[in-house]
Structure 1
Amino acid sequence: MPAPLTHESIARAPKVLLHDHLDGGVRPSTILELADEAGYRDLPASDADALGRWFRESADSGSLVRYLETFAHTVAVLQRPEGLHRVARECALDLAADGVVYAEVRYAPELSTAGGLAIEAAVEAMLDGFAAGCAEAAVSGTPVRVTALLCAMRQADRWDEVAGLVVRYRDAGVVGFDLAGPEIGFPPDRHPSAIALLDDAGAHRTIHAGEAAGTDSIRAALDGARAERLGHGVRIADEVSADGTLGELARRVRDEGVVLELAPSSNVQTGAYPSLAEHPVDRLRRLGFAVTVNTDNRLMSGVSATSELADVAAVHGWGWDDVQTVTERALAAAFVGEAERAALLADVVRPGFAALREASVRGG
């Protein structure tokens, strides 16, 4: 029989991450050091343990508004290329140490321009940091591939600029476009020229939708921004009745295989669902939706790819087949070429799960 699903056994499994924010996964010790270097004096704590605890407690308020307020501190230390490079490098190393073999990490480069840094320099520092971290991870025997998604902030007016950067840097590690920020009041087709630019270039996009807002936001992401994946998208469950009957939009999302980048712990923290047990991640997967399991913000939520999968598995009774299914689903939805996806599947993901099963039979 396969080894039981525990934090330790899942830590050894190859994992794929589609929804992880760079500014939501900074090491507390790094925040302190970068803040000191930049002269930023507004941090709520002066040691790493206390600072990490402050982020987790603030994020666990049940309010998306307060959750998002925590980002003021991480963004404040990402205003220089050195800081961006360091955080991106450490992100790749942290993911590799957690057994992640492929990740798409997102960031809004416009957030790093408040002090005068050119937006292109922000993108390049991040990409160089990812490359450096991946190179170090490979040398240490924990290879990982980290690519970038560039976010435009919904409430700002730099969508065209960010869309242009997605196209410009797509051969350098940028794999797609995202819209982040407040869903309510800022529809995903507010700047149709940006969407047209992505369409003309054949660029990938995932759109935050169905997190704070309901199914109308999901419909707008699909029809207005032509989203291939939904960042969160969990509110599609609003169209699933108690007996499993699907509404029109839910049928469309399921039947078209629109990938849901679910982040259950984050959804509980922001008040979308009262507990992990009541989160619809398992129900949606069993109804045939393209479910993936993600971290969202590792610092604020106090999670890792391993812990998120372990917690979901424990609460919802998942087995190894369930974990492997959501992992392969995520890899199939990755915004990289078919050859790279196929190689990761055949050479890394499936052998990794097979080795775990074989080890469990031997009692390892």
Structure 2
Amino acid sequence: MTSREEFEKREESFISPYGLPSSQSRGRVREEAPCPIRSDFQRDRERIVYCNAFRRLKHKTQVFLSPLGEHYRTRLTHTLEVAQLARTVARAMRLNEDLTEAIALGHDLGHTPFGHSGETVLKEIYSGNFSHPIQSLRVIDVLEKNGEGLNLTHEVRDGILKHSKGYGTIIPEDSKEKACTVEGQVVRVADIMAYLNHDLDDAIRSGVICEGQIPERCVNVLGTSHPDRATTMLRDLIYASHPENGEMKLQITDDVHRAMDELRNFLYHNVYRSPRVHNEFIKSKKILRELYTFFLEDQHETIFLSELDALEMPERKKGRSKERSVCDFIASITDRYALELYERLFLPLSLV
């Protein structure tokens, strides 16, 4: 018996009936020989951590563009906080921690530069159907490893695709919006818990808002500090969730749910739409729009191919439109890369 087989046997003994043991995965798009040491979900987690798209998250905006302080969240630190929260829930509920962590670590691989302003501009200039969850799946399936993709398991891919619905409900009722595993559903909730907490934390640190502005219900129900709020939300999800009709039904109590909704609404109007944040997003949209238009022009094809090569992305393939390739490129680059590229392409060289 291999180390993996021994682990899978132990795993089936401690995972609850509502979690998914690694041995019961529906497998990969392209069949592979099993690893003698790691389970399929452990391999997925490691493929995500070692891929280029994951490393680029460290230079992608969460909320604040080019913050002056060292302690503001980036898309990478957001991802790590989601993984930590989701894994805590998975352990408490005896779910598959490796599956949960793999989904959490991969959920934002397709996120654009400059936060949600990048996603908005690609909706406007490429397709109204563009979204970062769909792009994350495209990164996994098509763009990574120079076009080979990561070939992740069905359950990890499904959880990544369904981790977000914009400002939709925290726990959806529609089965089409839910991940096929409880682990994937947990990541969706953990994602919301993470950004509610850390975006509020960063907004206070930056001076965009002050603690006295936080709605009274949010303070009274969730707590006054980041650890208090996280503990309240985690505990509530873990203890309110329960089996129903043979399935695990994730649930949050009414008081906590209302407080989370109110906090999300408060952040939207007072942080994300604040002049300081929104004005920077307008500038970033202009940068991405001009880069997109530039690379669509046939006369710049050589430059575009060299940029794809520098980013270790696959060259344009037969049957793939130029618009699709340029969209993939724009969505993949980091804030810093976009700014440097814009300067190189559009600003005059210094005469000094």
Q: Which TM-score band applies after superposition, normalised by the shorter structure?
A: under 0.3
TM-score by length of 1: 0.26
TM-score by length of 2: 0.27
- Quick check: which one's helix share is greater? 2
